[in-house]
Structure 1
Amino acid sequence: MRIGITGAGRIGAMHARNLSQLSGVDELILHDPLPGRAPGVATQLAGSTVRIRTVEGYSEQLGQVDGVVVATPTTTHADLVLLAVAAGVPTLCEKPAADNEPRLRDMVEAVDRSGVEVLVGFQRRFDPPLVEMRRRVLAGELGTVYHVRALGQDHEPPDLGFIPTSGGMFRDLFIHDLDAIPWLVDEPVVEVYATGSVLVDDAFAASGDVDTAVVLLRFASGTLATLTGGRRDGLGYDHRIEVIGSRDALVVG
């Protein structure tokens, strides 16, 4: 199988490392519009048993692969996914799939019409501990779910050049929990409150963003969820989800 990766930054390089270790992958074809980035990742993986090469254009890449990973800045995701779908190439798109709701709706409609498989990188739905937590919640083992608490802390902030194109902290960092928690309790969100501050680096404020934030979700049944997160944690990366019910409580993290 030939897999393309467009975007050879931090996340694209991670996907390249992971894919280079899979037995079903024969070749990785890398692309990044910034000179030197894709060749740099290819050099890092030179010892892999998978063939790795680079191409200069995204259209060229799409013509040579069986699937593509979109790992570029958020503002480019929708356009690149639509080009892949038009070429009939199954796509894994990093989260979030788009930087605004109208663009996202247009993309979803186009993907649905095409019949091409597109997956957004919400990997927590496949994490075995969270899958088991969800099974227990939906089986009623915890009783009535009162409260869900989630903590998501990066060890260090992302590259400051990434901030203006990230889509903002709520779309970039909180997006995993905003996807996972409604899935976990299997209920729609009916009310949202969010607030944030700039406590880590003023560069976030310069881009109209925050680096420390809290989100409160209210679900249809009245269950509440609090999500807290930040761009820096001196002790390292930290992510936890706790579900508190009338009979029991569970923590994953």
Structure 2
Amino acid sequence: MTEHIGVALFGAGRIGKIHAGNLARHPHTQLRYVVDVHRPAAEALAAEHGAIVVGIDEALADPGVAAVVIGSSTDTHADLILRAAAAGKAIFCEKPVDLDVTRARACAEAVRQAGVTCMIGFQRRFDPTFAALKQRLDAGEIGTPEVLIVTSRDPGPPAAAYIAHSGGVFKDMLIHDFDIFRWILGGEAVSVHATGGCPNMPEVAAAGDISHAAVTLRTRDGALCQINTSRRAAYGYDQRFEVLGSKGLLQAGNVRPTEVVAWSGDAISSDKPEAFFLERYCAAYSLEIEHFFDALVNGTPVRTTIEDGIKALELAEVATRSWREGKAMECAI
């Protein structure tokens, strides 16, 4: 029987609660510690799962902790990765690695030097529908992929205070879509053209960001990707994409609370998409944590590495420059 892996969780907010529940259900993990600057939140989450609230130093100093799960605010990610790597802990970290590419690369070097496993939380790769599409694509069902179209829309914008420190829409939201681009088309971008604006959302513009964006990427072999995103979709969380190949088309649609469809003399109706990311990607969050700890138990590589995190961040950086300068950018990523 495999011994339980001791885990320290950093972050007791929305995503921390999701990870804590998934850790509690995993057969090979034991959530030992919860660390959060907001102690009441940490205490409530720790009490729910039989863990203890401690500080960063104490959590990392415990030899019984073999892995850390980082679900705290973005500005803490790099420091926690560096400290966890120095302590010899395996690392699962939510995206992004950092908002600064140079600092993210320093984290990757620290991970490499320490020889520890580090996985970045690009949960969309673990979504059952998206993963099924990828398997069929890799099996050659539609031939060579030529065009990827990604729709990614939030139901509503976050608070202006959050937007002002988020790194902007390309690093905050589209970083997931840049990862989808690399995962699905299997290549790197040689050009990026991003544009956007704030139609009817002046509060986003006042925070120094845009609410709507369109990005076109091209790979070295000429495959294209078009991403459209919005911080507001009145009908729910809109997450879908399609791949046009030389022999056909594959589509991955939204997830709804139920698949019941009502037919009447007035209309044909169904449920709206799931409300937001926590509901939409519930299964994906569970599967990615399962994959991370199974990889530790079996000594196998993780699917979403810190290098994947850096590549997506680099694309977000190029897209930000493209939007600000109003022109396409060549890139050697």
Residue identity opposite 1:195 in structure 2: T
Using the size of structure 1 for normalisation, the TM-score is 0.88
Partner of 2:35: 31
1:60 maps onto 2:58 in alignment: yes
Give the aligned partner of residue 166 of structure 2: 166
How well do the aligned residues superpose, as a CA RMSD in angstroms?
2.1
In structure 2, the partner of 1:16 is 20
Residue 302 of structure 2 corresponds to none
CA deviations on 1:37-67 (whole Å, 9 max, x unpaired) are 3124345xx3xxx422211x21112223221
Structure 1 position 161, deviation (Å): 3.9
Please give the secondary structure, in 2, of the residue aligned with 1:146: strand
- Residues 153 and 231 of structure 1 are in contact (CA less than 8 Å); yes or no, is this contact kept in structure 2? yes
The answer as to whether partners of 2:9 and 2:31 remain within 8 angstroms in 1 is no
Higher relative contact order (CA 8 A, sep 6+): 2
Q: Give the TM-score normalised by the residue count of structure 2.
A: 0.68
Larger helix proportion of the pair: 2
Corresponding residue of 2:246: 246
* CA deviation after TM superposition for structure 1 residue 201, in Å: 4.5
Pair 1:208 & 2:212 matched: no
C-alpha distance in structure 1 between counterparts of 2:87 and 2:201, whole Å: 41
What are the Cα deviations for residues 155-203 of structure 1, in whole angstroms up to 9, with x where unaligned?
2333444323322211121111101222212112111011222246544
Matched ranges for 1:71-220 at <5 A:
71-199=71-199, 201-220=201-220
Do 1:74 and 1:165's aligned partners in 2 also have CA atoms closer than 8 Å? no
SS at match of 1:36: helix
Structure 2 unaligned spans of 5+: 254-333
**Any runs of at least 4 consecutive aligned residues in structure 1 with deviations exceeding 6 A, and if so which?**
none
Q: Structure 1 regions of 5+ residues with no counterpart?
A: none
Question: Residues 155 and 236 of structure 1 are in contact (CA less than 8 Å); yes or no, is this contact kept in structure 2?
Answer: yes
Instruction: Choose from 42, 45, 49 the match for 1:41.
Output: 45
Q: CA deviation at 1:94?
A: 0.5
Measure, in 1, the Cα distance between the counterparts of 2:6 and 2:122.
23
